[in-house]
Amino acid sequence: MAASETRSARFDPSAERIARVYAQAILEAADAAACRGEVIEELEAFVRDVLPGVPGAAAVFGSPKVTVEQKEAVINKVAGGRLRPTTVHALCVLARHGRLGIVAEVAAAARTLDDEQSGRRRAVFTTAVTLADADRLRIVEEVSGAVGSALSPSFVVDPDIIGGLVVRIGDTVYDQSIASGLFKLAGNLHRRTIHEIQYGRDRLTSA
């Protein structure tokens, strides 16, 4: 189970449809190499962590004026040795077909297709404070059992939410009553937020 971060981007139906085609091909190649999960995670990490750290990389990937060879050189420079050969090959295929500019959409489509094919439902957990991995696992298991479905979770932090926890699955928002354990966890999160705020104030006062 991978817990991903949500991505905010302008919706482009055409890019989404094309991305699904490439994502399906990438998943099939990853299945042949028995590394589907790893490839999906590496594509997401490439978009989330690698591209923002390489100045001008996104512009180079999306520019029709940059040759395929130049784009592949950049891919090998920033991803070579860090990503699996299957992932690097997928990026190079996108470059050869002039689709590297929608790599973010392809990564998102790969995750969505994997969820659909595995029978998982996308779930967004909004919490008032950042959760430890153990707390994330526990809350996902609690909600999964309550709704009777495997979940593909992502987490968002919003200190202003009431009660400390909001769960959205598809178009449905669930309140804390879906499970007693969830209600207790939300209360703990709320109390932790208040404690952290008070602790910060005390430190400022005593400084």
- Indicate whether 109 and 175 sit together in one domain: no
How many domains does the chain divide into?
2
- Indicate whether 49 and 87 sit together in one domain: yes
Checking if the pLDDT of 9 tops 50, the result is no
The lowest-confidence range among 126-130, 139-143, 172-176 is: 172-176
**Domain endpoint, select from 88, 116, 144:** 116
Checking if the pLDDT of 179 tops 80, the result is no
CB of 35 within 8 A of CB of 136?
A: no
Q: Cα separation of 78 and 75, whole Å? A: 5
Per-residue pLDDT, averaged over 175-187, amounts to 50
Per-residue pLDDT, averaged over 7-23, amounts to 72
Model confidence band, residue 177 (pLDDT cutoffs 50, 70, 90): very low
Q: Cα separation of 192 and 143, whole Å? A: 21
Residues spanned by the domain of 61: 13-116
Model confidence band, residue 180 (pLDDT cutoffs 50, 70, 90): very low
pTM of the model as a whole: 0.65
Residue 181 CB neighbours (<10 A): 16
pLDDT in tens, 32-85: 999 999 999 999 999 988 888 777 777 888 888 889 999 998 888 888 788 999
Q: Cα separation of 52 and 62, whole Å? A: 14
Contacts of residue 65, defined as CB under 8 A and 6 or more positions apart, other chains included, come to none
- Indicate whether 18 and 67 sit together in one domain: yes
- Indicate whether 42 and 60 sit together in one domain: yes
**Which position has the token pair 């592949």?**
72
State whether the Cα torsion 163-167-173-178 is positive or negative: negative
In a domain, 81, yes or no: yes
- Indicate whether 185 and 111 sit together in one domain: no
**Domain endpoint, select from 116, 137, 167:** 116
- Indicate whether 162 and 77 sit together in one domain: no
